[in-house]
Structure 1
């Protein structure tokens, strides 16, 4: 079983740095990244990097807390909360891993918390 913690720590470093090499290290060459279920995914590492950089957050703008919901040999389901200065999101990530720990498919669900 691939332990998700090192990958998520790498994802958080890449989220902070927006460094293309750190982003690339997370994903297989032919990985698929869905920003939301059933949307058109970014296909391939180069497209994933380009999409990430086109929608990047500023460093130290967010905090992310997470815990595993389900772990299998190839898939991790992660529940998280992303907090920005002006909004908060609940997240559900489905990460499909290769045996070497890189991601071959990533899908994220996100929902903004009610502002009330």
Structure 2
């Protein structure tokens, strides 16, 4: 069973570094990344890195707290909260792993909290 914690720690590290090597290390060569469940995915590690960097956050701009919902042999579902200075999002991630702990398919659902 692949535990999600090391991968998520790597994801947060990549999120804050925007280092192409940090991002690349998370995904298989042929990984698929859905930024929304029914959107066209990003295909392959090269496109994932390029598209990630095209919409990157500044280091330290957001915090991410999470907990597992379900952890199975090669898939984990995690629930999280992403907080920026001016907005907050609830997240649900489905992460499909290969045995070495890299992601082969990532799908995120996100919902912005109402402004008060």
Q: Does TM, scored on the shorter chain, surpass 0.5?
A: yes
Deviation, structure 1 residue 90: 0.1
Matches within 5 A, 1:1-116: 1-116=1-116
* Cα distance in 2 between the residues matched to 1:106 and 1:40: 12
Q: Tell me which stretches of 4 or more aligned residues in structure 1 moved more than 3 Å.
A: none
Quote the Cα distance in structure 2 between the aligned partners of 1:110 and 1:20.
24
User: Helix, strand or coil for the counterpart of 2:16?
Assistant: helix
Alignment TM-score, normalising by the size of structure 2: 0.99
Q: CA RMSD in A?
A: 0.4
Unmatched segments (≥5 aa) in structure 1: none
Q: TM-score, normalised by structure 1?
A: 0.99
Structure 2 unaligned residues grouped into runs of 5+: none
Superposed displacement of residue 48, structure 1 = 0.2
Q: Structure 2 CA distance, aligned partners of 1:51 and 1:38?
A: 17
CA distance in 1, matches of 2:84, 2:49: 22
Distance 2:57 2:22 in 1: 15
Q: How many matched pairs?
A: 116
